[in-house]
Structure 1
Amino acid sequence: MAHLLGAEALHLEFPTKVVFDSVTVGINEGDRIGIVGRNGDGKSSLLKMLAGTLEPDSGRVTRRAGVRLGVLSQTDDLDPDLNVREAIVGDVPEYMWASDPKIRDVLAGLTGDIDWTKKIGDLSGGQRRRASLAKLLIGDWEVLALDEPTNHLDIEAITWLAGHLKRRWSASQGGLFVVTHDRWFLDEICTQTWEVHDRIIEPFEGGYAAYILQRVERDRMAAASEAKRQNLMRKELAWLRRGAPARTSKPKFRIDAATQLIENEPPPRNIVELQQMAISRLGKDVVDLLDVSVSFGDLEVFRDVTWRLAPGERTGVLGVNGAGKSTLLNLITGDLEPTTGKVKRGKTVVVATLSQQLAELAEHGNDRVSDVIGRKRTTYAAGDKEMTPGQMLERLGFTSVQLATPVKDLSGGQRRRLQLLLILLDEPNVLILDEPTNDLDTDMLAAMEDLLDTWPGTLIVVSHDRYFLERVTDQQYAVIDGQFRHLPGGVDEYLRLSAVAQAASASRAATAITDDSAGSQPGSSSSGVVASQYSGAEIRAAKKEVNRIERRLTKIEELEASLHTQMADNPTDYELTAKLDAQLRELADERDGLEMEWLEASEIAG
C-alpha cells in the first residue's frame, strides 16, 4: 500500500509529564484508524502532531508529496459573524457546488434542517458541529484527521457520518485517523485501533470489538496489578460477543477465541435479581404517565401518551433534538405538569438526575474530593456487596492522590464520575441519566457501565452514544411526532422510523406548497387533503390495525430475546446457532414489514 503520512521517533513533553517517548507510526492508503486511550494520555496531541498543527519536541512527521490533509479539531474555527452559507461554501458560485453530487450529499446529510441565512454565532452546539463537518467534508482530501467528530451530534447525524466515511473512498484509497470515545462509531468505520498509553502507541487490528478481544488476551498475560482491569474488559467482551450479530461479524474479530475467553463469564446483569431488589425498594408503583398531553401555547409536544414505568426497568429514550425528551424527563421528575392527563408517582419513589450541567458540584468547587465524599454515607450497596465511598471512587478510576484534589481542579471526566457517585450515595431508586457519556474515555465508560450493572432501581437513559445506550438498557423508546413509541428493534428500528417520518414530513410540506400554489382553482384546498381524506370507519379500522401490529411487535421482541438467550447458552453448538440465527432473520424481516404497515395505518389513524 502507498504511504500517506507517518511519524518517526516522536517525543513530546509537557512541564509535568512526558506524553510520548520515541514513537514511530505510519498511515497508508486504505487505513481507517481509531485512536483510543485514557483522557490525558495524548490522543489529541498525537492527532495534532500527525496533522501538523503541533510540533513535537523531537522527531519528525513525514507526508507524501502533494497529499491533501483535512483536519477537524474539537473546537470549530467558524467565524460567528458569517451566515451558514458563507461559512461552509464561502463565495463559490452556487452552480459550481450545487452541481457536484458529493457536495450535495454532504450538505443534505448535515445541514438539511439548518437555515442557511442564520449567523454561525446563533446556532446551537450541534448545528455548529455539523456546519464545521460540512465545511470539511465538501473538500477533496486524501487524508482526514478527525478529533471527536461525534461531539454534540445526535444519533441520526452520527449514523450519517459513519456511512459517509465508509463510502467516501474505495477500500484501498484514502486515509482516516479519528479520536473518539464513541465505541459504536469506532466499530463501524475503523479497520485498525491505536491505543495510546504509557508514552507509547500500541496497534490492534480491527475496530473496537476486535480491540477489546486482543486487549483481553494481552491483559491475561499482564501482571497481577492488572487483574481488576482485565475482569472489567472480560465483562465488556462478553457483552460484545453476546450482542447484536453485526457487532461481531467482522472477519478480524476471532469468534472462537472470544467464545473461549467468556466461557464462564456470566451476563453483565442479573436482571431477575435486580428487579426483585428494585421491587423491595420501590414497591410495584413507580411513575405512570396516563393519557398525558403537553402543549406550550400552540406547540403540541406530546399527545395522549401512556407509559407505566416498572420497578427495575432499564429504558433508553431516543429522539432528535427538540423532539421532547427533556419534557418527558421533567414529567417524570415532577418539574413539569401535563396540560392534560395525569402523572402518578409511587409513595417511595426518589428520583435523581445526572444532568449535563454538573450542578451537584457547584457548591463544592474548593473542597477536596475526600471531604465531599466524607459528608455522604459511609457504605454503599453495590449488588450483594457493601462498598466504601473510597472503593467506589477507585472503581470509577480515581487514584489516592486525586482524593486530595479540589473539585474545581478535576478534569471534565473526573467531575462527571464524581457527580454520578454523589448521586448514587443518596440512594435514589429512579435514576435519570441525561447525556452521561460526555467527557469520558472508553475505559471510564466501561467502568460506569460496570457500576450501573449492579444498580437496583429504575434507570432512564437519554444519550446519543449508541453503544452506551444499548449496553446499559434493556429496551428503547422513541419520541417521534408527539408520540412515545416502543422500539422492539432498538436503535436500528428508530433510525428507520426517523427516516420515514422525515420523508413523510417533507412530502406533507411539498403537498402544502402545491396546494397553496393552486390557490382557489376548482378542487384545490389551501388546508391540504389529509383532513377529509378518510372516513370514520377507515380511521377506526386503522386504529385497530395499529393495536394489532403493536401487539405482534411486542411478541416478536419476546421471541428475539428468547432466541438470543438460547444462542448465549449454547455458544459452541454451531448447528443450533445457525438454526437460531435463521429464525432471528425471519423475525427481523417480519418486523420490517410490520413497521411499514404500522406507519401506513398510523398515518390514517392520526
Structure 2
Amino acid sequence: MAVAVPAALVALDRARLLAGTQVLLDDVSIGVSDGDRIGVVGRNGGGKTSLLSVIQGSRPLDAGRVIRTGHVTIGMLSQTDRLDPEASVREEVLGDLAEHEWAGDPRVRTVLEGLLGGTDAEAVGGWEALVGPMSGGERRRLALAALLIADPDLLILDEPTNHLDVEGVAWLAGYLSGQRPRTGSALLVVTHDRWFLDAVSTRTWEVADGEVHAYEGGYAAYVLARVERQRVARVTEERRTNLARKELAWLRRGAPARTSKPRFRIEAATALIEGEPPPRDTAELMRFATTRLGKDVLDLLGATVTVGDRVLLEDVTWRIGPGDRYGVVGVNGAGKSTLLRVLQGQHPLAAGKLKTGKTVQMACLTQELRELDRVAGWTVIDAITEVRSYTLIDGKEVSAASLARRLGFSGGRQQSRVGDLSGGERRRLQFVRLLMDEPNVLLLDEPTNDLDIETLTAMEDVLDGWAGTLIVVSHDRYLMERMTDRQVALLGDRTLRDLPGGVEQYLELRRVMRRDGAGGPAGRPAGRPAQGALPPSGPSAAQVREARKTLARVERALDRLHEQEAAVHEQMASAATDPDELARLTARLAKMHAQEEALETEWLEVSEVAQE
C-alpha cells in the first residue's frame, strides 16, 4: 500500500544568498511540507531571519530559486513592528471582518482569549484603543493575534515569544501544536526559547556556515543528533561537544513535564552521556557560597512594595541564603524588575525591612545596555580587563580572554570596538564584565534578550561552576528550570508565592485565578505554601478534614526544617576553616534538602483536597 508523501508548500532549490562578503546560504536545497512544524536555530547573524525572508518572498536570492506550490498563502511575524500607530485595535486585529463572522468563529475567539484577554480585547484597552501609545509587548500581541486570525497556509514566526510572559508562551505553544494544525498548513519558527521549540517543533533546521542542516524532532532531539553528527564527523572542538553532552544529560534528568513526552528514543543517548555528572555539584557550590557569604545574604522582612499608588507586594517575607538559586516568574506588570531593584536597595520599601549581609557583593544584569556607552570606543578585551584580568570559576582561575571565548568572543572578535557590537554581543559583554567583577550575589533580569541558543547554553555552563546566590527573572521556561533550583511567583495579588511544583504549578495557579475572576490565592511568605492554591478534585468532607490536618503537619515540619537549615548555615560559617567539619555539615544539609523536597511533594499532593 502506497504511503502518501506530504506535499511541499515552499522549497528552495540551490539557493545562494549573500550579505556583503558573508555567505548566508550556499547552494541550499530544502523545503517546507504540509504538516511540518519546523524550529530554526543558529547563531545570531548566521542567517536565520534572512532565510525566513527568502521563503516569505520579501528578500530575493542571489542565485537559485524559490518554488511555491499552487496558491499557498504565507504570513510572517517579523521582529520589526509594522502596525499603524493611528489605527485602532479592531482595525489591526480584525480588519474587515464583520462582528458576526469573528464572534461566531471558535478559532478566532480562542486567539482573542489567549492573546488579548477575551472578545472585548480587555488586555489592550478595548477594540477602539489606538495602537500608537501601546507598549512593545502589547503591540507584539496585536500583530501575533492578527496573523493567527488570518491563518495563512505557511505561518512564519520570527522570535514570537519576545514580550510574552511564561503564561503567554505556554498558551501559544498549546495553540500552535494542538489547535492550529490543519491540512495544507505548516509552521516555521525562529526562537531562542528552547522549551517552546521542544513543545512546538516536529523538525529542526540549524543554519550555520551557509548551510541548513535538518533534524527530526524538537530541541531535545536536535541536541542529540547534533552531538552525534559532531562525533562522527569530528569537525568541532572537544569543548563544544562536552558542552552539548552536558546539556543533553540535563535534558534527560529534566522536569517530569518534559520527559513524559520525549520526541526521541532516550535510550539512544545512553552511551553518549554515560557517567556524565550533574550540571552542578550543589553541595560543593553551597560550601563555597557559604564561605564567601556567611549565613546572611538577603532577607525581606514584612516588606510592602509600592509604585506610585499601586501596591505590588504587601507584608512579604523572603529569606535568601548562600548558594540559593531562585527563579522569579509572574504576569507582566506584576513587579518582577521592581523586586530586583528592591533587593539591590534601589527601590524603597513602603513598610518592612531589607537586611543585606555584610559580605554581599551584588551585581545585576539589567535590560539596559547604556552602561556600555562609556567604553564604546574601547576594544572588547580592554572593556573586560578594565574590570579584572582573572577570575575564579568552578574552582579554577580563568583569564578574561578565556572567559570571553567561552561566551562567544573569538580571538579576533575580542579586538572589535564595543560600539560596533550587535545587541546580542553587547549583552554578552555585559555578562562577562559582571562575572569578572567577582560578585557573590548575581541578579539576572531577562538574560535571554538578544542572545542565541548557543550563547545561552554557554552562559548556563559558566554559571554551573559559579559559587554564589543567583536570582533570575525570565519568561524563558527552559532557562528558568535549567539555571535555578527553586521558583517563586508574583501573581499580581500582592503576594510572593513559593512554587514547589515549579513553572507548571505557576501556570495551574494562573488558570485557577482566571477561572475565579479577579481573585487569587491568599498570600503567604515564599517558602511556605499557601492553602487553597490548586483546583478542587471533589473529595468528601472527611477527606478534606484529613488533608487539612496533613497540610498543617507538613507546614509545621517545613518550618522546623527551615530553622534547622538556618542553624546549619551558621555552623558552616563558623567552620569555614575546618574542611572535615564543613564536609559533615554539607552532608547534613543535603539530607535536609532531600527531606524538604519530600515534604513539599507531600504538600502538593494534599493541597488539592485541603482547599475544599
State the TM-score, normalized to the length of structure 1.
Answer: 0.85
Q: Percent identity?
A: 52
The equivalent residue for 2:98 is 93
The equivalent residue for 1:49 is 54
- Picking from 57, 63, 66, the partner of 1:58 is 63
- Residues in 2 aligned to 1:159 and 1:127: alpha-carbon distance in whole angstroms: 17
Tell me, yes or no, if the aligned pair for 2:487 and 2:503 is still in contact at 8 Å.
yes
The equivalent residue for 2:428 is 417
Q: Deviations over 1:330-382 (max 9, x none)?
A: 22101122111111111111111100002331211111112212322221101
Tell me, yes or no, if the aligned pair for 1:556 and 1:591 is still in contact at 8 Å.
no
Name the stretch that deviates more: 402-411 or 370-379.
370-379
Matches within 5 A, 1:35-434: 35-112=40-117, 113-116=123-126, 117-170=128-181, 173-223=184-234, 225-250=236-261, 252-296=263-307, 298-434=309-445
Q: Cα distance 1:550–1:440, how it changes in 2: closer, same or farther (>3 A)?
A: farther
- Residues in 2 aligned to 1:28 and 1:90: alpha-carbon distance in whole angstroms: 29
User: In the TM superposition, what is the alpha-carbon distance from 1:108 to its structure 2 partner?
Assistant: 1.0
User: In the TM superposition, what is the alpha-carbon distance from 1:591 to its structure 2 partner?
Assistant: 2.4
Q: CA RMSD in A?
A: 2.6
- Picking from 596, 601, 604, the partner of 1:591 is 604
User: In the TM superposition, what is the alpha-carbon distance from 1:107 to its structure 2 partner?
Assistant: 0.7
- Residues in 2 aligned to 1:230 and 1:357: alpha-carbon distance in whole angstroms: 33
Q: Deviations over 1:161-209 (max 9, x none)?
A: 1111012344765211111111000000101001111111111110000
Name the stretch that deviates more: 541-550 or 476-485.
541-550
Name the stretch that deviates more: 483-492 or 364-373.
364-373
- Residues in 1 aligned to 2:512 and 2:269: alpha-carbon distance in whole angstroms: 37
Tell me, yes or no, if the aligned pair for 1:549 and 1:594 is still in contact at 8 Å.
no
Name the stretch that deviates more: 82-91 or 152-161.
82-91
Alignment of 1:9 onto 2:14 = yes
Aligned residues: 541
User: What SS is found at the alignment partner of 1:444?
Assistant: helix
The equivalent residue for 1:579 is none
Name the stretch that deviates more: 442-451 or 112-121.
112-121
Q: Deviations over 1:248-295 (max 9, x none)?
A: 444641211212211111000011111111111111000111111123
- Residues in 1 aligned to 2:200 and 2:78: alpha-carbon distance in whole angstroms: 19
Tell me, yes or no, if the aligned pair for 2:558 and 2:599 is still in contact at 8 Å.
no
Q: Cα distance 1:590–1:351, how it changes in 2: closer, same or farther (>3 A)?
A: closer
- Picking from 482, 490, 505, the partner of 2:517 is 505
Q: Deviations over 1:447-480 (max 9, x none)?
A: 0000111111100000011111110000100012
* 5+ residue gaps, structure 2: 1-5, 118-122, 521-545, 563-596
Q: Cα distance 1:551–1:157, how it changes in 2: closer, same or farther (>3 A)?
A: farther
Tell me, yes or no, if the aligned pair for 1:241 and 1:259 is still in contact at 8 Å.
no
- Residues in 1 aligned to 2:34 and 2:46: alpha-carbon distance in whole angstroms: 27
Name the stretch that deviates more: 109-118 or 307-316.
109-118
Q: Cα distance 1:189–1:101, how it changes in 2: closer, same or farther (>3 A)?
A: same
Tell me, yes or no, if the aligned pair for 1:69 and 1:142 is still in contact at 8 Å.
yes
> Structure 1 counterpart of 2:489, which letter?
A
Name the stretch that deviates more: 287-296 or 302-311.
287-296
Q: Cα distance 1:595–1:287, how it changes in 2: closer, same or farther (>3 A)?
A: farther
Alignment of 1:462 onto 2:467 = no
Q: Cα distance 1:73–1:371, how it changes in 2: closer, same or farther (>3 A)?
A: same
> Structure 1 counterpart of 2:111, which letter?
V
User: In the TM superposition, what is the alpha-carbon distance from 1:242 to its structure 2 partner?
Assistant: 0.7
Tell me, yes or no, if the aligned pair for 1:232 and 1:447 is still in contact at 8 Å.
yes
The equivalent residue for 2:457 is 446
User: What SS is found at the alignment partner of 1:8?
Assistant: strand
> Structure 2 counterpart of 1:487, which letter?
L
Q: Cα distance 1:554–1:190, how it changes in 2: closer, same or farther (>3 A)?
A: farther
User: In the TM superposition, what is the alpha-carbon distance from 1:484 to its structure 2 partner?
Assistant: 0.8
User: What SS is found at the alignment partner of 2:516?
Assistant: helix
User: In the TM superposition, what is the alpha-carbon distance from 1:18 to its structure 2 partner?
Assistant: 1.1
Q: Deviations over 1:25-51 (max 9, x none)?
A: 111111111111111111111111111
Tell me, yes or no, if the aligned pair for 2:547 and 2:607 is still in contact at 8 Å.
no
Tell me, yes or no, if the aligned pair for 1:209 and 1:248 is still in contact at 8 Å.
no
> Structure 1 counterpart of 2:149, which letter?
I
User: What SS is found at the alignment partner of 2:392?
Assistant: strand
Name the stretch that deviates more: 308-317 or 323-332.
323-332
User: In the TM superposition, what is the alpha-carbon distance from 1:225 to its structure 2 partner?
Assistant: 4.6
> Structure 1 counterpart of 2:231, which letter?
R
* 5+ residue gaps, structure 1: 509-540, 558-583, 601-606
> Structure 2 counterpart of 1:70, which letter?
G
The equivalent residue for 1:31 is 36
- Residues in 2 aligned to 1:199 and 1:99: alpha-carbon distance in whole angstroms: 47
Q: Cα distance 1:420–1:167, how it changes in 2: closer, same or farther (>3 A)?
A: same
Q: Deviations over 1:545-588 (max 9, x none)?
A: 9765756899999xxxxxxxxxxxxxxxxxxxxxxxxxx99997
